[in-house]
Amino acid sequence: MISEKMEKAFNEQINKELFSEYLYLSMQAYFERMNLTGFTNWMTVQVQEEHAHAMGMYTYLNERGGKVELMAIDKPQTDWASPLDVFKHVLEHEQFVTSCINKLMDVAEEEKDRAALSFLDWYLKEQVEEENNVGGVLAKLELIGDDKHALLLLDKDLATRTFVAPVIG
Ligand code: OFO
Protein backbone atom coordinates (compact mmCIF):
# COMPACT_ATOMS: atom_id res chain seq x y z
CA MET A 1 0.00 0.00 0.00
CA ILE A 2 1.20 3.46 -0.80
CA SER A 3 1.00 6.40 1.65
CA GLU A 4 -1.51 9.20 1.04
CA LYS A 5 1.29 11.73 0.68
CA MET A 6 3.06 9.59 -1.92
CA GLU A 7 -0.21 8.95 -3.77
CA LYS A 8 -0.90 12.71 -3.98
CA ALA A 9 2.63 13.40 -5.21
CA PHE A 10 2.31 10.73 -7.92
CA ASN A 11 -1.05 12.11 -9.05
CA GLU A 12 0.46 15.58 -9.32
CA GLN A 13 3.31 14.20 -11.42
CA ILE A 14 0.89 12.31 -13.69
CA ASN A 15 -0.75 15.68 -14.33
CA LYS A 16 2.63 17.24 -15.18
CA GLU A 17 3.46 14.43 -17.59
CA LEU A 18 0.05 14.87 -19.26
CA PHE A 19 0.66 18.62 -19.44
CA SER A 20 4.01 17.85 -21.11
CA GLU A 21 2.16 15.71 -23.65
CA TYR A 22 -0.28 18.59 -24.24
CA LEU A 23 2.48 21.19 -24.55
CA TYR A 24 4.38 19.11 -27.09
CA LEU A 25 1.18 18.46 -29.02
CA SER A 26 0.75 22.22 -29.23
CA MET A 27 4.36 22.51 -30.48
CA GLN A 28 3.63 19.72 -32.98
CA ALA A 29 0.72 21.78 -34.33
CA TYR A 30 2.97 24.86 -34.57
CA PHE A 31 5.53 22.95 -36.68
CA GLU A 32 2.75 21.47 -38.78
CA ARG A 33 1.54 25.03 -39.54
CA MET A 34 5.10 25.84 -40.66
CA ASN A 35 5.24 22.75 -42.92
CA LEU A 36 8.36 21.53 -41.11
CA THR A 37 7.58 17.82 -41.29
CA GLY A 38 10.75 16.62 -39.54
CA PHE A 39 10.24 18.94 -36.56
CA THR A 40 6.59 17.85 -36.51
CA ASN A 41 7.72 14.21 -36.38
CA TRP A 42 10.16 14.94 -33.55
CA MET A 43 7.31 16.44 -31.52
CA THR A 44 4.96 13.54 -32.36
CA VAL A 45 7.50 11.15 -30.83
CA GLN A 46 7.87 13.47 -27.83
CA VAL A 47 4.09 13.47 -27.33
CA GLN A 48 4.08 9.64 -27.35
CA GLU A 49 6.95 9.54 -24.86
CA GLU A 50 5.17 11.87 -22.44
CA HIS A 51 2.01 9.78 -22.67
CA ALA A 52 4.09 6.70 -21.85
CA HIS A 53 5.63 8.53 -18.85
CA ALA A 54 2.18 9.42 -17.50
CA MET A 55 0.88 5.88 -18.06
CA GLY A 56 3.93 4.38 -16.36
CA MET A 57 3.02 6.25 -13.17
CA TYR A 58 -0.69 5.49 -13.62
CA THR A 59 0.05 1.75 -13.80
CA TYR A 60 2.48 1.94 -10.90
CA LEU A 61 -0.01 3.76 -8.65
CA ASN A 62 -2.63 1.10 -9.42
CA GLU A 63 -0.16 -1.70 -8.72
CA ARG A 64 0.61 -0.16 -5.33
CA GLY A 65 -3.06 -0.01 -4.38
CA GLY A 66 -3.25 3.76 -4.80
CA LYS A 67 -6.03 5.79 -6.39
CA VAL A 68 -5.35 7.48 -9.71
CA GLU A 69 -6.97 10.90 -9.60
CA LEU A 70 -6.81 12.83 -12.87
CA MET A 71 -6.76 16.61 -12.65
CA ALA A 72 -7.46 19.39 -15.15
CA ILE A 73 -4.66 19.98 -17.63
CA ASP A 74 -3.58 23.60 -18.12
CA LYS A 75 -3.88 25.23 -21.54
CA PRO A 76 -0.48 25.16 -23.22
CA GLN A 77 1.15 27.99 -25.16
CA THR A 78 0.13 27.93 -28.83
CA ASP A 79 2.60 30.24 -30.61
CA TRP A 80 6.35 30.70 -30.64
CA ALA A 81 8.64 33.15 -32.42
CA SER A 82 10.77 30.50 -34.18
CA PRO A 83 11.93 26.85 -33.98
CA LEU A 84 14.78 28.10 -31.78
CA ASP A 85 12.26 29.69 -29.44
CA VAL A 86 10.37 26.37 -29.27
CA PHE A 87 13.45 24.37 -28.33
CA LYS A 88 14.50 26.91 -25.70
CA HIS A 89 11.05 26.37 -24.21
CA VAL A 90 11.40 22.56 -24.42
CA LEU A 91 14.72 22.61 -22.58
CA GLU A 92 13.33 24.93 -19.91
CA HIS A 93 10.32 22.66 -19.52
CA GLU A 94 12.41 19.49 -19.26
CA GLN A 95 14.62 21.13 -16.62
CA PHE A 96 11.46 21.95 -14.70
CA VAL A 97 10.26 18.33 -14.99
CA THR A 98 13.65 17.10 -13.75
CA SER A 99 13.24 19.29 -10.66
CA CYS A 100 9.74 17.82 -10.15
CA ILE A 101 11.07 14.24 -10.32
CA ASN A 102 13.74 15.20 -7.78
CA LYS A 103 11.02 16.58 -5.47
CA LEU A 104 8.98 13.43 -5.94
CA MET A 105 12.02 11.41 -4.88
CA ASP A 106 12.37 13.67 -1.83
CA VAL A 107 8.81 12.72 -0.84
CA ALA A 108 9.63 9.01 -1.38
CA GLU A 109 12.65 9.45 0.92
CA GLU A 110 10.58 11.22 3.58
CA GLU A 111 7.98 8.44 3.38
CA LYS A 112 10.75 5.81 3.48
CA ASP A 113 9.19 4.34 0.35
CA ARG A 114 12.12 2.44 -1.18
CA ALA A 115 9.95 0.80 -3.85
CA ALA A 116 8.89 4.22 -5.15
CA LEU A 117 12.49 5.45 -5.03
CA SER A 118 13.67 2.52 -7.09
CA PHE A 119 10.79 3.01 -9.56
CA LEU A 120 11.58 6.71 -9.92
CA ASP A 121 15.18 6.00 -10.72
CA TRP A 122 14.11 5.22 -14.31
CA TYR A 123 12.48 8.66 -14.61
CA LEU A 124 15.59 10.39 -13.35
CA LYS A 125 17.74 8.66 -15.97
CA GLU A 126 15.14 9.48 -18.62
CA GLN A 127 15.33 13.18 -17.69
CA VAL A 128 19.12 13.18 -18.16
CA GLU A 129 18.59 11.67 -21.61
CA GLU A 130 15.79 14.09 -22.51
CA GLU A 131 17.75 17.17 -21.49
CA ASN A 132 20.70 15.89 -23.50
CA ASN A 133 18.60 15.22 -26.64
CA VAL A 134 16.83 18.56 -26.47
CA GLY A 135 20.10 20.37 -25.76
CA GLY A 136 21.56 18.76 -28.90
CA VAL A 137 18.79 20.08 -31.15
CA LEU A 138 18.94 23.48 -29.45
CA ALA A 139 22.70 23.74 -30.04
CA LYS A 140 22.19 22.98 -33.74
CA LEU A 141 19.46 25.60 -34.02
CA GLU A 142 21.75 28.16 -32.41
CA LEU A 143 24.45 27.34 -34.99
CA ILE A 144 21.95 27.52 -37.85
CA GLY A 145 20.77 31.04 -37.00
CA ASP A 146 18.95 32.49 -40.04
CA ASP A 147 20.28 29.91 -42.53
CA LYS A 148 17.05 28.47 -44.04
CA HIS A 149 18.90 25.81 -46.02
CA ALA A 150 20.57 24.48 -42.87
CA LEU A 151 17.19 24.54 -41.10
CA LEU A 152 15.71 22.32 -43.81
CA LEU A 153 18.64 19.91 -43.46
CA LEU A 154 17.98 19.66 -39.73
CA ASP A 155 14.29 19.15 -40.50
CA LYS A 156 15.25 16.18 -42.65
CA ASP A 157 17.37 14.79 -39.85
CA LEU A 158 14.57 15.11 -37.26
CA ALA A 159 12.23 13.18 -39.57
CA THR A 160 14.16 10.00 -38.73
CA ARG A 161 13.26 9.96 -35.02
CA THR A 162 11.02 7.01 -34.13
CA PHE A 163 9.06 6.14 -31.02
CA VAL A 164 10.17 3.09 -29.09
CA ALA A 165 7.80 2.18 -26.26
CA PRO A 166 9.86 2.47 -23.07
CA VAL A 167 10.09 -0.30 -20.49
CA ILE A 168 9.52 1.73 -17.34
CA GLY A 169 10.64 0.85 -13.84
FE1 OFO B 1 8.24 13.13 -19.04
O2 OFO B 1 9.86 13.68 -19.60
FE3 OFO B 1 9.67 15.17 -20.68
O4 OFO B 1 8.63 16.15 -19.56
Which mean pLDDT values do the consecutive 10-residue runs of the chain (169 residues) have? Answer: 97 98 99 98 98 98 98 98 98 98 98 98 98 98 98 98 96
**CB 113 near ligand 1, within 6 Å:** no
CA of 54 to the centre of ligand 1 (A): 9
| pLDDT confidence of residue 169 | 84
71-75 contact pairs (CB < 8 A, 24+): 71/11, 71/12, 71/15, 73/15, 73/18, 73/19, 73/22, 74/19, 74/22
Substitution candidate for ligand 1 out of 15, 48, 99, 127 with most atoms within 8 A of CB = 127
